[in-house]
A and B are shown apart, each in its own frame.
Chain A
Amino acid sequence: MTISIWRYSHLALAVSSFIFITLASLTGIILSFKPVTEKTQPYKSKDFNTLTVANLIPNLKKAYIDISDVSIDANQFVIVNGTDLNDHSGHFYVDPKTGKSLGKVAKENEFFRWTTTLHRSLFLHETGRFFVGLTAFLLFLIATSGTVLIIQRQRSLKKFFGKIVKDGFAQYYHVVLGRLMLIPIIIISLSGTYLSLQRFGIIAEQKITHKVDFDGLKTSPEKKTADFEVFKRISLNNLQAIEFPFSEDVEDYYTLKLDDKEITVNQITGDILTEQTYSKATLFNHLSMDLHTGRGSAIWAIVLAIASANILFFIYSGFVIMWKRRSGRIKNKYKSDQAEFIILVGSENGTTFRFANAVYEQLLKNGKTAFMAEMNSYQVFPKAKQLMVFAATYGQGDAPTNASKFKSLLKKYKQPNTVDFAVLAFGSHAYPDFCKFGYEVNNALSHEDWAKPLLEIHTVNDRSPEEFTRWATLWAQNSNIELTLLTKLLETKPVKTQQFEVVSKTVSAHAETSFIIRLRPKKRKRFTSGDLLAVYPANDHRERLYSIGKMGKEVQLSVKLHQGGLGSSFLHHLEAGQSVNASIVRNEHFHFPAKAKTVIMVSNGTGIAPFLGMISEHSGGKNIYLYCGFRNQDSFSLYQNAINTETNKLTKLNVAYSREGEKQYVKDLLLKDEPLVCETLKSGGVIMLCGSLGMQKDVIELLDDLCLRSQQKSISYYQSRGQILMDCY
């Protein structure tokens, strides 16, 4: 829940202050040009750094009959306030080396002054100053909460500058630029806050008064200004201003404002009369002014301008993100108690809603009654026949905020009828806990008696339209929905098929017909066991997917013939030598793990197909355990030859027969080998499942129990780390 607190404060702060921040940023951008234009003026002396006050004063006295003060501005321009030899009074830029006037100091630019007032007080005097100060502080809070959000998003401080998952333009650049501009923005907001606090007297301002002992003033020995020891020691670099004695009376003295202190100096003897160092508050004030205005550094001023421009972009992109999130809100046509199709969405920033919406629209188009809601709105759906869950994973494998209560609600509300369910998990491989929450939801649903899997869980990495379409196609076929909108919505490329030649077909000789078919691609094509072969039996959009076992250079499929099954009867009718159009779909998540030392393969029925290929390709060095389930010895016999030739590569083969002998299922065999199963997971090994969804549900339930018992970790932990690989149908 901490996530949403930070997010809500980030949003609430931004919403409450964005008008002021916009104004301050706009005026800030304009004002940043002031130091830049000043810097380009030619009043800087080459010798500035080498000169001391002892050089400066005699040089100036040559060119001015009277000087009341000299100041050095942030650009290291020397400004004299006095009367020159032509009796012209005023402020002049001078060359400290020659005392020559370089030009009269121009009146402050009206436009910059107007902008400064707007920036500081919005023309509202004290009230305006208060709001601007408050806004600076709010900006600091927004930057801080933004930092926390980035840390949460990146999952650790170390990865703060790591890769960012691209979630669309506004979101992506909000985060990317946010990190980049974080430091300038924090500096701007903190210095602005500090200046305001001092302005309102909350931080006391230091007022220096020099208490000169007039009775103790000496008039001898008289020295020339150029010989004053103290003046020789002060270089112009450290000088801010000199107030000249008002008259030649000894009671009038020099006051020098340096970087860190103020001193007064006897104008006749050159003795230091008093010395007062600046308080920390004063020094901090100077620093804040430097940092906030960029005075004296054109580069920093440009950085400030860029940061201000970015703040404007953050306001824009922030609102786009908020608007997107809000527009993801649901407008339902049917009520929850009328709908047969229930779509639940768990999404942190609303993008998952886009996918869910596509499915929702598709259902309505097909005349179905559909209802869409956030996962936290889970309840009893009296008429539900199908439940689809679109679950994104957020942060460290957490539930999105709007799905945080789902698991407890699921235990509380039981559906009255059997409901087919399908979970589509959204996530990113950029995070280690890939789709963890999706797996958790799928596993939790599997535990419910009323819930029957329609499809196995699928994952969508980084919003891949391909992955989503693959799922949507499968889903549509299984629910008898014609996909019309989706293809348009997601604009998938037409599938490229290629020609395969049927090499052989082996049909089992018993009532439950299964067969093994081998195909050779006519053109070279890279593929591996676990990939899928998409077949188009009617040469239209309908595709059927089969798990590939790679045997040499050939594709081996294992198919069970279904009565009236479109795909299986199509393949069954093929004869050796015939050609067929099909395409290979990469199915990375079910490839043979390269690194794991131990692999447990679990299958039932024709699900053994990819494993046969993997075992045949495998070159040794791993412990491979195969657990396969069949109805009886007859159905196993189809594969027996293939397995017998590879037995040396298998550490152990376990076969369960469900209709013969002990009438076991693969889960029973796994339970017997509990220590092996637990050790495999613990040591980083991989368990692969291929077969029916019913088998998958049973096995996952069993594994969950085993894990909780032995390691106190739920199975979704291993699922999200790729230690449980599933390809079921």
Chain B
Amino acid sequence: MNNINKWCLAFVLVLSIPTLSSAQKTTKYKCMVQMTNYVGEGAYIAVSLIDAKGTYEKTLYVMGSDKKWYPDLKEWHKAYKKKPVNISGITGASVTGGDRSVTILDIDDTKVNKGYKLRFETAVEDNKYYVKDLEIPLTTEGLAAKTEGTGYIRYVRLSPN
């Protein structure tokens, strides 16, 4: 029941915003990031859509709101500087060691199963930087699995919202 309501709502929303009407249909995914018990400041995490060639296509979410630290997420920041977009709607708080963070990601349905990846890039003040703390292949299976991280992230879980 809920789901139908939600879909209707999403549909109405899409229709009501003409600028978005040209955009492709997107699906909301709940994304949970569980951090390891590292010691230090809160981690900045950029979630980006990466194409098959490995280039940044879109920023899906940034955990960490102080722009001062964005350059620490080196690769993402390079791409972001080249093509600045307004990310204020998809910015949240940084995540400390041991904590979990649940956010909503908007993923374009047409990109699924096309060789795209979700990249979780992490950096901590005065600490190591991980370009690929973890990557999730943007496939139907990938979107349902639990993926282990290699840096500050213990694992990431996604599920359709």
Binding site for B on A (CB under 8 A): 65-66, 68-69, 81, 83, 86-87, 89, 107-108, 113, 117, 125-126, 201, 205, 207-209, 243, 246-247
Minimum distance in angstroms from A580 CB to a CB of chain B: 86
Chain B, residues 105-137, CB within 8 Å of chain A (1/0): the string is 000000000000000000001100000000000
Query: In the complex, A108→B97 CA distance in Å?
Result: 21
Contact, CB under 8 Å: A108 / B2: no
B30 contacts across to A, CB distance below 8 A: 66, 68, 246
Question: B39 interface residue, CB < 8 Å from A?
Answer: yes
Contact, CB under 8 Å: A83 / B161: yes
Question: B55 interface residue, CB < 8 Å from A?
Answer: no
Contact, CB under 8 Å: A243 / B97: no
A-B contact count (CB 8 A): 42
Contact among A66, A113, A205, A247 for B39, CB-based, below 8 A: A205
Q: Nearest 7 CB-CB pairs, A to B? A: A68-B102, A207-B37, A89-B104, A207-B98, A126-B126, A87-B9, A246-B32
Query: In the complex, A65→B30 CA distance in Å?
Result: 12
Contact, CB under 8 Å: A66 / B161: yes
B15 contacts across to A, CB distance below 8 A: none
Contact, CB under 8 Å: A87 / B98: no
Query: In the complex, A81→B30 CA distance in Å?
Result: 12
Contact, CB under 8 Å: A125 / B126: yes
Residue of B nearest to A129 (CB): B126
B100 contacts across to A, CB distance below 8 A: 243
Query: In the complex, A309→B65 CA distance in Å?
Result: 31
B9 contacts across to A, CB distance below 8 A: 86-87
B-side interface size class? 20 to 34
Contact among A69, A87, A108, A243 for B65, CB-based, below 8 A: A108
With A108-B65, A209-B37, A209-B98 in contact, do A87 and B159 touch (Cβ < 8 Å)?
no
A69 contacts across to B, CB distance below 8 A: 102
B66 contacts across to A, CB distance below 8 A: 113, 117
With A66-B161, A87-B10, A207-B37 in contact, do A246 and B98 touch (Cβ < 8 Å)?
no
Query: In the complex, A362→B100 CA distance in Å?
Result: 79
Question: B78 interface residue, CB < 8 Å from A?
Answer: no
Residue of A nearest to B36 (CB): A207
A107 contacts across to B, CB distance below 8 A: 65
A87 contacts across to B, CB distance below 8 A: 6, 9-10, 13
Minimum distance in angstroms from A87 CB to a CB of chain B: 5
Contact, CB under 8 Å: B125 / A125: yes
Query: In the complex, A619→B98 CA distance in Å?
Result: 88
Give the residues from 25 to 41 in chain B that come closer than 8 angstroms, CB to CB, to chain A: 28, 30, 32, 37, 39
B125 contacts across to A, CB distance below 8 A: 125
With A113-B66, A246-B30, A246-B157 in contact, do A83 and B102 touch (Cβ < 8 Å)?
no
Minimum distance in angstroms from B152 CB to a CB of chain A: 13
With A65-B6, A68-B30, A246-B30 in contact, do A83 and B65 touch (Cβ < 8 Å)?
no
Query: In the complex, A68→B99 CA distance in Å?
Result: 13
Contact, CB under 8 Å: A208 / B98: yes
A81 contacts across to B, CB distance below 8 A: 102
Contact, CB under 8 Å: B159 / A246: yes
Query: In the complex, A69→B65 CA distance in Å?
Result: 19
Contact, CB under 8 Å: A246 / B126: no
Contact, CB under 8 Å: A65 / B2: yes
B104 contacts across to A, CB distance below 8 A: 83, 89
Q: A83-B161, A208-B98 are in contact. List 6 more A-B contacts (CB 8 A).
A: A68-B32, A87-B6, A87-B13, A108-B65, A125-B126, A246-B32
Minimum distance in angstroms from A234 CB to a CB of chain B: 20
